[in-house]
Structure 1
């Protein structure tokens, strides 16, 4: 399957279990892979035969910058669900939500969750 890839989308949100996370907020990075047949778009050169990545960016933004959630797992699930609601051509998606600076002791680059969802028939 062909893919449209949105990599390292950056937002500021208020997700987390700790009070300081929901009060102060933090950065979140998101990677999204949209599985869609792009052959028709490649031949027609028409936007209606593809998924507009600017609109996909806004779908993700509305969730990450929206209502706080306890878990980034919930953030990823809502992103996937809303992508399917907004794009009829979408067949499957991979969503990775990355917390670059979670409030945990230790040395690490980030923590993340990644989910893969397919269109329900």
Structure 2
């Protein structure tokens, strides 16, 4: 396995309609997304070609489409959908996603509410290797 480096994108701002309350889905609000990808970058560094790495501009567009897309109740669910989108690129081995909901409907003063998840690509097993006890 190659060395796993990190590509980080912070502060991606996207309007979405997520939440458990009707007014959140009706009126919508801004969500802020942070991503850290575990990616081997040695090939890209050697070739100096964007085709050999994760194109973070394209990833930002995919993430924005998830956030702007189908509403969900929980930012935990939204974070999972974003992680799935990132892991759909086979070069991404691990992803950390933070979804910030700075306008969450909370009645006391606060700066931010966020959920952070970490997901990784399942380890591949050699042919004939059993997953567990029989």
TM tier, smaller: over 0.9
Instruction: Report how many residues are paired.
Output: 120
Name the counterpart of 2:90.
88
* Correspondence 1:103 to 2:105: yes
SS in 2 for 1:23: helix
Name the counterpart of 1:39.
42
The structure whose RCO (Cα within 8 Å, separation 6+) is larger is 1
Q: Measure how far apart 1:74 and its partner are.
A: 0.3
Runs of 4+ aligned structure 1 residues displaced above 3 Å come to: none
More helix by share: 1
Give the aligned CA root-mean-square deviation in angstroms: 0.8
1:28-67 to 2 correspondences below 5 Å: 28-67=31-70
Give the Cα separation in 2 of the matches to 1:94 and 1:61: 16
Give the Cα separation in 2 of the matches to 1:34 and 1:100: 23
Q: Measure how far apart 1:84 and its partner are.
A: 1.3
Name the counterpart of 1:114.
116
Give the Cα separation in 1 of the matches to 2:39 and 2:70: 29
